[in-house]
Amino acid sequence: MKTKFPFKSGSPEASLWAQIDREALPRHIAIILDGNGRWAQRRRQPRIAGHRAGVRRVREIVEFCARIHLPALTLFAFSLDNWKRPQGETEFLMQLLRQYIRRELDYMRRNNVRLRVIGRWQELPAAVRADVAQAIESTAANTGLQVVVALNYSGRGELVDTVRRLFIDMQRNGRVPITEANLAAHLDAADLPDPDLLIRTSGEMRISNFLLWQLAYTEIWVTETLWPDFTPRHLLEAILDFQRRERRYGGLADGAGKSHEDSPSEVRRPIRRPQPARR
C-alpha cells in the first residue's frame, strides 16, 4: 500500500522516511518495552511515573504505526514474571492498563485499529478481564493495524498452552500429526506472520521469554534508549536498518556458492548489525 508522506518537511523523521522503501515495510514488528523504572529513577521519581510515561509512549507509537500502515505491532506489556514485583506496583499497572484501554478504545474504533491480546489474560482480575474483553470484541471487525498486547504472558507459558490445545485437538479429532505447522497453528494469534523485526529498548541483550517460537528468524534491533524516550524517529531508524539487512533463513545469500568465474562481478551485500539509536 502506498503511503502519503506523513512528516513535516525538513524534520529528522522526514529524512528517515524518505530513505525507507514503503513497499517493503515489516509485516510485523514486536517490541519489548523496557526501561520505565530506570527512566523514573534517573529523574528521581517513583517507578509509577515511569510506567505512566511508558503508557503515553505506547499511544504515540501505536498512532504512528497506524499512520504508516504497518500491518501488525506486538507489545510486551506485562510478563507472568512481573507478578514478582511489589504488590503496589502490580496493582498500579493493572489500573494503568484499564485506563489505557478505556481512553484508547474510541481512537481504535475510529482509526480501524484492532486490539488483540495474547497470554493468560483470562487469569487477570475480573475488572481487568472485562475491560480487555470489551475492547477485543469492539475492535474485532477492524481491518487496519493489529495491535497485539502480550499480557500476563511468557513465551514458555505460551508453548505449554499451545501443546495443551494441540492435545485437546487430538482428543477431539483423532490422530493429528505433530508437525511444526500444526504446532504453529495452535499458538496465540496463530494467523499473524512471525515478527520480521524485534525491537528492545534500554540496551538489554536478551529476549526475556518473549515469543520464543515466533522469533526463530526475526531480526533484532537493540537501542540504549529507555522506552519512555522511544519516539517514532527511533522506530524509523530500526525499520531502515532492517531494510538494509540480508535475510537468509539458514540458506545462502543470492549467488553464494557460485564460482567467481560464473559471476565475476558479483559482490555480496554485507549483513548490517543493529546500531544504537541516537538519543
pLDDT in tens, 95-109: 999 999 999 999 999
Q: Which residue has the cell 553464494?
A: 256
pTM for the model stands at 0.87
H-only helix segments in 68-138: 87-110, 126-138
The C-alpha atoms of residue 161 and residue 171 are separated, in whole angstroms, by 15
Q: How confident is the model at residue 135 (pLDDT cuts 50, 70, 90)?
A: very high
CA atoms within 13 A on the CB side of 45: 14
pLDDT at 253: 65
* Confidence check: pLDDT of 264 > 60: no
Among 1-5, 67-71, 84-88, 270-274, whose mean pLDDT is lowest? 270-274
* Confidence check: pLDDT of 2 > 70: no
- Summary mean pLDDT of the chain: 89
Per-residue pLDDT of 142-188, as tens digits, reads 999 999 999 999 999 999 999 999 999 899 988 878 899 999 999 99
Per-residue pLDDT of 51-95, as tens digits, reads 999 999 999 999 999 999 999 999 999 999 999 999 999 999 999
Per-residue pLDDT of 219-261, as tens digits, reads 999 999 999 999 999 999 999 999 999 887 777 666 555 444 4
Kindly name the residue from 36, 81, 82, 152 that is annotated as catalytic: 82
* Confidence check: pLDDT of 262 > 80: no
Task: Respond yes or no: is residue 82 known to be catalytic.
Answer: yes
- Between 210 and 248, the higher pLDDT residue: 210
H-only helix segments in 43-86: 47-67
For strands 72-79 and 146-153, give the pairing: parallel
Q: Which residues contact 168 (CB under 8 A, 6 or more apart)?
A: none
Fold annotation for 24-153+193-243? Undecaprenyl pyrophosphate synthetase (3.40.1180)
Kindly name the residue from 34, 131, 188, 196 that is annotated as catalytic: 34
What element of type H or E holds 16? helix 12-19
Task: Respond yes or no: is residue 191 known to be catalytic.
Answer: no
pLDDT at 4: 58
Q: How confident is the model at residue 272 (pLDDT cuts 50, 70, 90)?
A: very low
pLDDT at 256: 59
The C-alpha atoms of residue 126 and residue 268 are separated, in whole angstroms, by 55
The C-alpha atoms of residue 40 and residue 37 are separated, in whole angstroms, by 5
